[in-house]
């Protein structure tokens, strides 16, 4: 392994061969190339030729360099170079002790650790060495060297632990293990994180491994990051992101999830420079923040990157104590009601329900509430007062509201400013002509960001003694400058005084939205909670006394695994004291404990924890990084390069020997040939390119054949429906009609053709017979467009629903038969002109035969044609025939014409007729003739019927 370069050699000793290169250089430079020996009969004549200068007796320097490089490459390749070599362990037969960090800090990169360990085990198997896997989280394990197969099985069971591992605890076991074999080697697959006491382990290990080969594998993978110190502050929820060193990724996101795992928000963080901690802030509404149960670093799969939040973080609990005894009489007007409503959205309000204010205060102090509101409490008696003072000095926030009792109280020192007491208190008398308005908020206090409302009026207040410090204690002031809210620090805590009552007797402040904002501000500054919220399962009541709390335990319910995923608690997890605030341990893995309504979060890291990089200096070990990629054997490429150089050398020698000019003629030939090959290749490729484009013309032959067949002679055509029986009848029917046409008319049509309506060209056919099959799928939009085009360009389609007998009886029943409905489905997308039952004087009735109607197999159906403009009544008499301007593009019948025309090859009819009148089939054929003639000749007959009249006119 070369430091700084992931390159290693399997046989480094071979590299000594590089030392022979100078000798090679000397030889190459000194010895001229050996001449070619040629037996040449006229050599005697050559003796007479004056010898030329022997120029190339020495190899040119660059050729020598080329050959030296070639030799160097061969030596290099023979030494077995390997890019990103696997972690090196000695190649001896001594057993190998593999220490594996498996605390939470190893979880994110645990795969790399396992991969390295697997590799070590595999090579131990190859070398026949014993191996011992020592997960440092299990100090009590009985360690021994085992076979690589057993170690492999053991390795598969390893998983990172969710808690911090005290490595030093494993030292005795390691000592016993190493004592068993003095030659054993040690490999430590470290995570590189120092959680505080790692140095003990490093020095201890150094002592144990004196004189042994120690390899520490660390780095090469992203260093672990962790979360700690969640702070649900006033404006935002902040969480501290930790990292051990600047190698870890310096940017990322922290995700906030609720208890069900739904994401609530994300916050980005970035480490600046070499800083090892930074803060991510969630600027979310407090109600949403209160729902956050889990914070995690996106993409960091370790228990340390997860912080679980229980109710302690969710809201601050505020105890409300009132001095009034009659409050409960009108609870909706009581100060406690206003306070509870105002504090409710962002704080957990607890009301003192019983007893005197002193008892309530005592109670709340026992509960270690961070904030207490005393609404018009005058004097607190006894030692409760001392406790309250201590509580404030220990960090409690005491908010007091004025009132008659406060005003009446004497020697009350739990106020931020001195109040005017005694007769000077303006309790009951009106001091002003008109009520004062709230005028300003102090920029120093928590109200700085609140907009000053103009609807808050103060009618009564307690006044402060004006002194020099009054202004800096004032958080809010009235229009005349007198303070409305004053505050003062006391010890670590704070005392805040509202100079009005918490109910509406003195002012309408409790009714204003500003009141909520102000209380929120005060709750926001409530600093460190002096003690844990000792909320228990029943929520409100609590036991008194620390002793009972310490013994109160809650059972694990959802536990994090090493990768930071929730799971059921493992059997080794033990219940935790309900007031537990420490780090997670092996017995108490991180996770939620207790019942769902009172979860207790135990986290891997506690506030104040910091990560530090591991200092391996005392160990004096070889340090290698983890391998994130497979090793690459460079022998092949290097040998390939050597072969390439050899080829180059051969070419150069060939050229030097004058072969270039000799081979030029052949070479140019070859070049021409290769150029031809290239050209051919290019043409082939070019030929491949437009292949799809030529696919269209390629399919032309069949289309051309179709067009040839269709246009060689006039043909009738039918649409292939896909129903074999219907298609056979269509074909036979049109064949029969074709025969009939040949016999009776001048038209001798060819054999009828079946059409695939979706693909075949329609324009070749004057008439297309389309039998409708009920339930047939509707043609595609493209097909419908083709049909439309055909009809618009003069083609005629004869739709035959073939179901005149199935039509419901009654007027109009014909149009409700199943075939008609199917046909309607087809035609609904087409641009169909107005239709009408064929009128008597329609030209279709006279194009060849004179026909009153158009029977087929059935005679009850009618033939529908495009409506032609009704004749001028004046001309009605004179014109027995009407025809439109063109040919009706659509004919619809339900009489199954093809069924009537269908004949077998022997000339017999295929299908019986209904009702079977004597000449029905003859008339059916005649109808067909008329239709064909109509499509071929148009309205020509409409004029022909006038010929007698015209002749008569001409004749005279």
Partner 1 sequence: MAPSHAPGSQTSVTSDHERAALAQASGASRTLAATMPRLVLEARRVAATVIHGLHGRRRAGPGENFWQYRRFVSGESAADVDWRRSARDDHLYVREREWESAHTVWVWPDRSSSMDFRSNLARDGKLERALVIALALGEVLVQGGERVGIPGLMAATANRNIIDKMAQVMLHDPAARASLPKAFSPSPLSEFLLLSDLWSPIADIRATLARLSAAGAHGHVVQVVDPAEETFPYSGRVEFVEPEGAGAVTAGRAETWRADYTARIARHRDEIRAETDHAGWSFLVHRTDKPATDLLLALHARLTAGRAAVRPARGAPTEAAPA
| Torsion (CA) 606, 609, 613, 618 in degrees, nearest 10 | -110
| Contacts of residue 907, Cβ cutoff 8 Å, sequence gap at least 6 | none
877 belongs to the binding site for partner 1 (CB under 8 A)? no
Per CB under 8 A, the list member of 2, 20, 26, 56 interacting with partner 1 is: 56
906 belongs to the binding site for partner 1 (CB under 8 A)? no
666 belongs to the binding site for partner 1 (CB under 8 A)? no
Q: Which stretch binds partner 1 (CB under 8 A): 46-54, 599-607, 792-800, 860-868?
A: 46-54
Closest to partner 1 by CB, 42 or 701: 42
Q: Which stretch binds partner 1 (CB under 8 A): 31-39, 162-170, 806-814, 898-906?
A: 31-39
Closest to partner 1 by CB, 49 or 326: 49
Closest to partner 1 by CB, 39 or 746: 39
Phi, then psi, of 372 in degrees rounded to 5: -135, 140
Closest to partner 1 by CB, 57 or 956: 57
Helix (H) or strand (E) holding 581: none
Per CB under 8 A, the list member of 48, 142, 782, 952 interacting with partner 1 is: 48
Closest CB 30 distance from partner 1, rounded Å: 16
Closest to partner 1 by CB, 67 or 460: 67
3-state secondary structure of 769: strand
Closest to partner 1 by CB, 34 or 953: 34
Task: Give me 663's structure tokens.
Answer: 């081979």
H helices within 403-554, ranges in order? 404-408, 470-473, 513-525, 546-551
Task: Give me 41's structure tokens.
Answer: 């009969």
8 Å CB contact between 841 and 856: no
Per CB under 8 A, the list member of 4, 5, 36, 429 interacting with partner 1 is: 36
Task: Give me 112's structure tokens.
Answer: 């790399």
CA distances to 228, 242, 257, 757, 951 from 609, rounded to whole Å, are 7, 9, 23, 80, 121
Closest to partner 1 by CB, 655 or 940: 655
Distance, CA of 338 to chain centre? 47
User: Which CB contacts under 8 angstroms, 24+ apart, belong to 870-879?
Assistant: 871/841, 879/841
Per CB under 8 A, the list member of 5, 57, 596, 666 interacting with partner 1 is: 57
Task: Give me 494's structure tokens.
Answer: 């704070």
50 belongs to the binding site for partner 1 (CB under 8 A)? yes
3-state secondary structure of 252: strand
Q: Which stretch binds partner 1 (CB under 8 A): 9-17, 44-52, 367-375, 583-591?
A: 44-52
Closest CB 25 distance from partner 1, rounded Å: 21
Closest to partner 1 by CB, 50 or 629: 50
Per CB under 8 A, the list member of 5, 40, 540, 852 interacting with partner 1 is: 40
Closest CB 666 distance from partner 1, rounded Å: 13
Closest CA to 949 of 878, 846, 848, 872: 878
Task: Give me 595's structure tokens.
Answer: 């019942």
Closest CB 66 distance from partner 1, rounded Å: 19
- Binders of partner 1 in range 601-660 (CB under 8 A): 656-659
How many angstroms separate the CA atoms of 787 and 798, rounded? 12
How many angstroms separate the CA atoms of 467 and 417, rounded? 9
- Binders of partner 1 in range 819-858 (CB under 8 A): none
How many angstroms separate the CA atoms of 404 and 427, rounded? 6
Closest CB 649 distance from partner 1, rounded Å: 16
3-state secondary structure of 800: strand
Closest to partner 1 by CB, 43 or 956: 43
Closest CB 49 distance from partner 1, rounded Å: 4
30 belongs to the binding site for partner 1 (CB under 8 A)? no
43 belongs to the binding site for partner 1 (CB under 8 A)? yes
Per CB under 8 A, the list member of 3, 4, 35, 852 interacting with partner 1 is: 35
How many angstroms separate the CA atoms of 74 and 689, rounded? 44
54 belongs to the binding site for partner 1 (CB under 8 A)? yes
Q: Which one-letter DSSP state was computed for residue 884? A: -
Closest to partner 1 by CB, 63 or 826: 63
Closest CB 40 distance from partner 1, rounded Å: 4
808 belongs to the binding site for partner 1 (CB under 8 A)? no
Burial of 551: CB neighbours in 10 Å, binned 0-12, 13-18, 19+: exposed
60 belongs to the binding site for partner 1 (CB under 8 A)? no
8 Å CB contact between 501 and 399: no
| Contacts of residue 243, Cβ cutoff 8 Å, sequence gap at least 6 | 223, 224, 225, 226, 271, 276, 277, 611
Q: Which stretch binds partner 1 (CB under 8 A): 37-45, 514-522, 536-544, 581-589?
A: 37-45
- The site that binds partner 1 (CB under 8 A) totals a number of residues, namely 32
Residues within the interface to partner 1 (CB under 8 A) = 32-57, 656-659, 661-662
């Amino acid at each position: 392994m070369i430091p700084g370069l992931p390159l290693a050699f399997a046989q480094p000793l071979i590299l000594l061969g590089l030392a022979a290169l100078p000798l090679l250089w000397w030889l190459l430079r000194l010895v001229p190339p050996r001449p070619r020996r040629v037996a040449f009969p006229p050599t005697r004549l050559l003796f007479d030729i004056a010898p030329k200068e022997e120029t190339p007796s020495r190899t040119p320097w660059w050729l020598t360099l080329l050959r030296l490089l070639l030799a160097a490459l061969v030596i290099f390749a023979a030494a077995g170079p390997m890019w990103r070599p696997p972690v090196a362990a000695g190649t001896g037969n001594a057993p190998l002790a593999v220490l594996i960090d498996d605390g939470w800090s190893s979880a994110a990169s645990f795969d790399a650790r396992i991969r390295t360990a697997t590799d070590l085990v595999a090579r131990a198997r190859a070398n026949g060495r014993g191996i011992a896997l020592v997960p440092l989280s299990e100090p009590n394990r009985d360690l021994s060297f085992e076979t690589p197969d057993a170690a492999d099985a053991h390795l598969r069971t390893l998983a990172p632990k969710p808690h911090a591992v005290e490595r030093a605890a494993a030292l005795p076991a390691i000592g016993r293990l190493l004592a068993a074999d003095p030659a054993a080697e040690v490999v430590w697959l470290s995570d590189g994180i120092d959680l505080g006491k790692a140095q003990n382990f490093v020095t201890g290990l150094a002592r144990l491994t004196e004189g042994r080969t120690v390899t520490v594998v660390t780095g090469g993978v992203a260093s672990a990051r962790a979360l700690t110190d969640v702070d649900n502050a006033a404006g935002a929820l902040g969480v501290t992101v930790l990292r051990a060193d600047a190698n870890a990724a310096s940017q990322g996101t922290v995700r906030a999830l609720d208890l069900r795992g739904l994401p609530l928000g994300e916050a980005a963080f970035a480490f600046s420079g070499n800083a090892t901690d930074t803060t991510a802030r969630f600027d979310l509404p407090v109600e949403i923040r209160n729902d956050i149960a889990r914070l995690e670093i996106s993409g960091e799969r370790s228990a340390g990157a997860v912080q679980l939040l229980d109710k302690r973080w969710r809201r601050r609990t505020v105890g409300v104590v009132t001095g009034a005894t009659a409050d409960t009489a009108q609870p909706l007007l009581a100060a406690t009601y206003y306070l509870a409503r105002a504090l409710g959205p962002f704080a957990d309000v607890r009301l003192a329900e019983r007893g005197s204010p002193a008892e309530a205060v005592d109670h709340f102090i026992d509960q270690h509430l961070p904030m207490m509101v005393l609404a018009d409490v005058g004097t607190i008696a006894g030692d409760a007062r001392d406790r309250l003072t201590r509580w404030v000095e220990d960090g409690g926030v005491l908010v007091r509201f004025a009132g008659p009792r406060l005003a009446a109280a004497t020697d009350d020192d739990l106020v931020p400013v001195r109040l005017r007491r005694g007769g000077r208190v303006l309790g009951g008398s009106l001091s002003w002509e008109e009520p004062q308005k709230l005028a300003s908020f102090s920029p120093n206090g928590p109200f700085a960001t609140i907009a000053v409302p103009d609807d808050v009026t103060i009618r009564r207040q307690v006044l402060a003694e004006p002194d020099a410090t009054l202004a800096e204690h004032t958080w809010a002031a009235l229009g005349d400058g007198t303070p409305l809210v004053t505050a003062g620090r006391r010890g670590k805590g704070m005392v805040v005084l509202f100079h009005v009552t918490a109910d509406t007797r003195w002012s309408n402040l409790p009714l204003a939205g500003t009141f909520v904002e102000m209380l929120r501000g005060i709750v926001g500054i409530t600093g460190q909670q002096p003690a844990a919220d000792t909320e228990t399962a029943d929520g409100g009541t609590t036991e008194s006394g620390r002793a009972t709390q310490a013994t109160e335990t809650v059972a694990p319910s959802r536990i994090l695994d090493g990768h930071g995923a929730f799971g059921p608690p493992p059997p080794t997890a033990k219940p935790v004291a309900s007031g537990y605030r420490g780090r997670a341990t092996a017995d108490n893995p991180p996770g939620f404990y207790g019942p769902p309504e009172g979860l207790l979060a135990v986290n891997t890291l506690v506030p104040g924890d910091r990560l530090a990089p591991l200092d391996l200096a005392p160990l004096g070990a070889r340090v290698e990084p983890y391998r994130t990629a497979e090793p690459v054997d460079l022998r092949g490429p290097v040998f390939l390069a050597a072969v390439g150089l050899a080829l180059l050398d051969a070419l150069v020698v060939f050229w030097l020997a004058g072969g270039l000019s000799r081979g030029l003629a052949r070479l140019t030939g070859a070049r021409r040939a290769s150029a031809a090959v290239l050209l051919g290749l290019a043409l082939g490729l070019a030929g491949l390119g437009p292949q799809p484009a030529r696919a269209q013309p390629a399919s032309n032959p069949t289309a051309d054949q179709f067009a040839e067949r269709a246009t060689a002679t006039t043909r009738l055509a039918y649409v292939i429906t896909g129903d074999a029986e219907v298609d056979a009848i269509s074909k036979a029917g049109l064949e029969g009609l074709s025969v009939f046409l040949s016999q009776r008319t001048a038209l001798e049509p060819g054999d009828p053709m079946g059409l695939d309506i979706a693909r075949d060209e329609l324009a070749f056919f004057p008439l297309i017979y389309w039998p409708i099959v009920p339930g047939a799928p509707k043609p595609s939009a493209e097909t419908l467009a083709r049909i439309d085009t055909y009809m618009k360009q003069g083609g005629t389609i004869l739709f035959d629903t073939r179901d005149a007998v199935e039509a419901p009886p009654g007027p109009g029943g014909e149009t409700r038969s199943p075939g008609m409905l199917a046909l309607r489905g087809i035609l609904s997308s087409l641009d169909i002109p107005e239709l009408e039952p064929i009128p008597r004087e329609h030209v279709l009735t006279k194009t060849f035969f004179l026909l009153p109607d158009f029977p087929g197999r059935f005679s009850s159906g009618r033939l529908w044609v495009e409506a032609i403009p009704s004749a001028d009544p004046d001309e009605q008499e004179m014109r027995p025939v009407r025809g439109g301007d063109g040919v009706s593009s659509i004919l619809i019948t339900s009489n199954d014409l093809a069924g009537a025309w269908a004949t077998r090859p022997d000339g017999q009819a295929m299908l019986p007729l209904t009702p079977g009148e004597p000449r029905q089939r003859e008339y059916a054929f005649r109808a067909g003739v008329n239709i064909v003639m109509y499509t071929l000749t148009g309205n020509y007959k409409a004029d022909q019927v006038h010929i007698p009249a015209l002749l008569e006119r001409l004749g005279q």
